[in-house]
Amino acid sequence: MIGVEEKQKEKSEGLQLFVKYKGLEELSYEVLHELIEVINFYDPEHIEIVWKYRDEFLEAVE
């Protein structure tokens, strides 16, 4: 089980990455590996992106 301190550290790291890439206009290899957990391609019109720090990002924009 992840402790409260570890969760806070993960949140902080996630938010720092989103701030680092603020205003980004294109994806690079580095950005993909830092921010994205997985990209699922179902068909050409249906793609799912799973973010590594989704919860932290949602908290920041609310």
Phi, psi for residue 31 in degrees, rounded to 5: -65, -45
Report yes or no: 40 and 46 within 8 Å, Cβ to Cβ: no
* Close Cβ partners of 59 (under 8 Å, ≥ 6 residues apart): 11
Report yes or no: 57 and 35 within 8 Å, Cβ to Cβ: no
For residue 55, give both structure tokens. 């919860």
pLDDT tens digits for the chain (62 residues)? 566 666 666 666 767 777 777 787 888 898 888 888 999 999 999 999 888 876 655 555 55
**pTM flag (> 0.85):** no
